[in-house]
A and B are shown apart, each in its own frame.
Chain A
Amino acid sequence: MSAATIRDGYNFAYLDEQTKRMIRRALLKAVAIPGYQVPFGGREMPMPYGWGTGGMQVTAAVIGADDVLKVIDQGADDTTNAVSIRAFFKDLTGVETTEKTREASLIQTRHRIPEAALQEDQILVYQVPIPEPLRFIEPSEVETRKMHALEDYGVMHVKLYEDIAHFGHIATTYAYPVMVNGRYIMDPSPIPKFDNPKMHQMPALQLFGAGREKRIYAIPPYTDVKSLDFEDHPFEIQQWDESCAICGSHESFLDEVIMDDLGTRSFICSDTDFCRERGPIEESINMPVDTPIDTPIDILRETL
């Protein structure tokens, strides 16, 4: 750690050492009981709730001077939320940051799991708005804790039943509930269900932090994560007829974007690093070599 790179008067990664130890203890417990929500004495962060304060506290507790940090929001490194969190940790730890999934040792995310398969030496930290998957049907915290303790999970399928009864299929597309390690029902945070299969048997450690509700939970490497479903309505991920307008990918999660004032619509990868690494399709794009690449949207705009 080089002290010169850290803002004067602040501890490494903002939180004091005692708080970090407290959070690490909660993390250890969470890793020991996959999918179980561990309460922790959450601290105020210099950002409002909803900006990922839970994820930031987890990141602050595990980040070391040798880490390489990547921060994404909806798959992109350049949104306001991602930029400010990355700047915050750069300022208060001096660690190296990156936009490349493969180079990062620590990735904090909101709403996506990177497309590139994560590895054993990586940690993925999720920002969680509502940690309790049973909250929709049971407002009482005492009762939901009891339901988890007793594996009293019938209501989770009631929700999926209602989807099928009213829409003909399971209409839940984000925050799709999962069973972790065959024991705890868990809210994977508002990632698209497209990302759910990536959680299953992932080699990387997955940590979840909810700031407002002060809960931490975890999925250790190589843990079973099963999306709830019915035998005759099996879990399915989103699919697109289109492919990415920039890199041509058929297998990534696509965002629909409006390209111009005429309302021209296009689909592009939500994971900007994935898209950039694949590179533009030859025939559709001709990039001048010296132009710095910002985002897939910028690339696309230039080509139109």
Chain B
Amino acid sequence: MQSEPLLRVNNLSKLYAPGKGCEEISLDLYPGEVLGIVGESGSGKSTLLTSLSARLEPNAGEVLYRNAKNEWLNLYELPESERRRLLRTEWGVVHQHARDGLRMGVSAGANIGERLMAVGQRHYGNIRKEGLRWMEDVELDVSRIDDKPNTYSGGMQQRLQIARNLVTHPRLVFMDEPTGGLDVSVQARILDLLRTLVRDLNLAVVIVTHDLAVARLLAQRLVVMRHGKIVETGLTDQVLDDPQHPYTQLLVSSVLTP
């Protein structure tokens, strides 16, 4: 692990109502690291993810990001155009529901190509070539490049969403329950794919999940949240095998069902 973080969160709070949202969150994320945020639904983990990924301005605190030019950016002091630029270049966001992350009305190839076009690529042949390459990399049938995502299965839609994000070679990807709602066998294959991609591309990932098995498989480090606050943090094996906080102990013992 490198010594300088990629993302630095200082005392971030985003509350909709007392106890609703997330509060006083501080954490660091390092290049190439996969950080899992776990907790029950309502624990504030999704609010936190949205705030970290520049899509929800916090009430207090700051999120700092070190960009590809090695400059530290204070996300919510940037103009919105810059935040959007980050989201389609150096970052990616994989949503739980494919319809939130895909354009359902246009073909798979257009979905993958959109970010390339948004950053100024104007050669159709090259954009299409990239689309085909990424479909192969996420193990989608390339002959379906001109089909719309609503003709794809749930698992295929998630693969497409991943390809659509990775096409600009982001350094940091935010994932919100990326395998939620999928059949167990489909889930396992997507997790395998994500593991491979994260390793091969040296991606830093912040992944929100209620599923500790997913967290164990993907994340090197865990943050456990309850009632909007971090109650425990540490290396994944440590947290799951030897939980210190009573809430984490409950979570691990599967007494709590999400």
Contacts and interface: CB of A to CB of B under 8 A. Distances in A.
Interface in A108-128: none
A150 B124 contact: no
A60 to B, nearest CB: 38
B128 A165 contact: yes
Interface stretch (A13-21, A227-235, A270-278, A290-298): A227-235
Interface in B141-188: 145-146
A267 interface: no
Interface string B23-57: 00000000000000000000000000000000000
A43 interface: no
B142 to A, nearest CB: 13
A157 B122 contact: yes
Interface string A143-180: 00010011111110111011011100000000000000
B106 A158 contact: yes
Nearest to A151: B81
A154 B122 contact: no
B109 A230 contact: no
A165 B110 contact: yes
A152 B117 contact: no
B127 A161 contact: yes
B78 to A, nearest CB: 12
Given A154-B88, A154-B114, A154-B115, A232 B125 contact: yes
A161 to B, nearest CB: 5
- Chain A interface SS verdict (over half): helix
A153 B107 CA distance: 18
Nearest to A146: B80
A231 B146 contact: no
B84 interface: yes
A1 interface: no
B146 A150 contact: no
B106 A230 contact: no
Contact of B114 (A158, A166, A229, A233): A158
A137 interface: yes
B47 to A, nearest CB: 22
Interface string B79-105: 011001000100000000000000101
B128 A150 contact: no
A21 B146 CA distance: 51
Contacts of B124: 161, 164, 230-233
B122 A158 contact: no
B129 to A, nearest CB: 11
Interface residues of A, number: 22
Contact of A137 (B80, B103, B123, B125): B103
A162 B118 contact: no
Interface in A211-254: 229-233
B243 interface: no
Interface residues of B, number: 24
Nearest to A157: B117
Given A137-B105, A150-B84, A152-B84, A162 B123 contact: no
Contacts of A151: 81
B228 interface: no
A149 B79 CA distance: 12
B80 A150 contact: yes
A149 B80 CA distance: 10
Contacts of B103: 137, 158
A10 B105 CA distance: 50
Contacts of A137: 103, 105
Nearest to B121: A157
A231 B122 contact: yes
Identify which of A137, A151, A161 gathers the most chain B CB atoms within 10 Å of its CB. A161
B117 A161 contact: yes
A150 B81 CA distance: 5
A137 B114 CA distance: 13
B150 to A, nearest CB: 15
Contacts of B145: 165
Contacts of A229: 122
A149 B81 CA distance: 9
Nearest to A228: B122
Contacts of A166: 107, 146
Given A164-B124, A166-B146, A158 B84 contact: no
Contacts of A153: 118
Interface of B: 80-81, 84, 88, 103, 105-107, 109-110, 113-115, 117-119, 122-125, 127-128, 145-146
Given A146-B80, A150-B84, A165-B107, 7 more contacts: A154-B118, A155-B114, A158-B106, A158-B110, A158-B114, A229-B122, A232-B124
